[in-house]
């Protein structure tokens, strides 16, 4: 009845500004590499005052992380179920590629525009959470290395796949992802 929650109730203007900045960054990153995207350009594209950027993010990388995290969370939400229930890695890989395929422009921008590092960091973070949630037997592959390996290799594979621009279909991509990266790692822990 009173206020819904101290966290939920946020000034509508804040939400609006944040959304505008997200969209602007994504739009700009499609036209030029990340380091050539000025903060001023972002704010202008977002229709927002220059200083307003800093009222929300301390740095360009921080905004990028936010944007990247959004994508990763959605991607994970789609692929983890397949993994969790039946250890069906191939199906999880398909889910991933399908999602990336659906968001082609965004992911191309993120991966080729200099945001690969941010994506990688997010994947590592997510991997860590997922790993922590499942029981885990020690194999020959150290856990922290496996996270970093998966993140780096997956980013590379996705970049390659996006650059292939349709010459490799989702099924083929999923097979490559599974055989080259996911399956070895999953197998290592059993």
Rounded Cα distance, 117 and 102, in Å: 22
Rounded to the nearest whole angstrom, what is the least distance from the CB of residue 155 to DNA in the complex? 24
Rounded Cα distance, 50 and 47, in Å: 9
Q: Does 13 bind DNA (CB under 7 A)?
A: yes
Chain residues in the site for its own copies (CB under 8 A)? 140-142, 144-145, 148-149, 151-153, 155-157, 159-160, 168, 175-176, 179-180, 184
Structure tokens at 73: 């969370």
Rounded to the nearest whole angstrom, what is the least distance from the CB of residue 120 to DNA in the complex? 21
| CB 28, CB 41: distance < 8 Å | yes
- Residue 11 contact, options its own copies, DNA, none, Cβ 5-8 Å cut-off depending on partner type: DNA
Where are the alpha helices (H) located in the chain, listed in sequence order? 12-29, 39-46, 50-56, 60-86, 89-102, 104-112, 116-133, 143-164, 170-177, 183-188
Q: Does 19 bind DNA (CB under 7 A)?
A: no
* Residue selected from 47, 84, 105, 142 as contacting DNA according to rule CB under 7 A: 47
In the window 127-166, what residues touch DNA (CB under 7 A)?
Answer: none
């Amino acid at each position: 009845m009173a206020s819904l929650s101290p966290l939920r109730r946020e000034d509508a203007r804040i939400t609006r500004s944040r959304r505008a900045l997200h969209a602007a960054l994504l739009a700009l990153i499609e036209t030029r590499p990340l380091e050539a995207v000025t903060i001023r350009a972002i704010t202008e594209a977002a229709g927002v005052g220059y200083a307003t950027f800093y009222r929300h993010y301390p740095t360009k990388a921080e905004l990028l992380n936010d944007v990247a995290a959004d994508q990763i969370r959605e991607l994970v939400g789609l692929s983890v179920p397949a993994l969790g229930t039946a250890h069906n890695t191939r199906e999880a890989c398909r889910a991933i590629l399908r999602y990336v395929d659906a968001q082609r422009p965004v992911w191309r921008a993120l991966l080729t525009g200099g945001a690969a590092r941010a994506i990688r960091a997010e994947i590592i973070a997510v991997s860590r959470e997922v790993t922590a949630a499942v029981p885990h037997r020690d194999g020959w592959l150290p856990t922290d290395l496996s996270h970093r390996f998966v993140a780096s290799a997956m980013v590379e594979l996705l970049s390659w796949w996006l650059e292939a621009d349709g010459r490799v279909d989702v099924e083929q991509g999923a097979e490559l992802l599974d055989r080259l990266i996911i399956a070895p790692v999953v197998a290592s822990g059993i």
